[in-house]
Amino acid sequence: MTRHAYLFSSHVQRMMVRLLAIILFTSVIANNLLADDVNSDQTPKISLDTAVNKVRAQYADGKVLKTEEQQVGNGKIYVIKMITADSRLLHIRVDAQSGQIIE
């Protein structure tokens, strides 16, 4: 192999290594960005109707006045405004992922 062929071959190899490093770096960054998007927009595991039914079961004497969905951090909660038979106004929060009533 001549000296020129060896230098050219080495130069091409360095360029290929750089190109592969750029492709790898770009794919890692893109994967992380996509993962963040998926995690930040978590689809609720329970519906608002299910949350309302759960609250109605716990506060059978109450009447639901208003419902609302709120973004909290990376998750969502349902806020259910209810009035009880003894005229107490309640704002009950339900975690949309776990279905747990938040105290």
Task: Give the per-residue pLDDT at 29.
Answer: 80
What pLDDT does residue 40 have? 47
pLDDT of 3 above 60:
no
Region 29-41: what's the mean pLDDT? 62
Domain ranges of the chain: 1-41, 48-102
The CATH class of the 48-102 domain is: alpha beta
User: Would you list the DSSP string of 26-50?
Assistant: HHHHHHHHHHHHHHHTPPPSS-HHH
State how far the alpha carbon of 37 is from the alpha carbons of 30, 47, 77, 95, in Å. 11, 21, 18, 20
| Mean pLDDT of the region 2-11 | 62
* pLDDT tens track for 74-92: 889 999 999 998 999 999 9
Q: What is the chain's mean pLDDT, rounded? A: 82
pTM of the model: 0.58
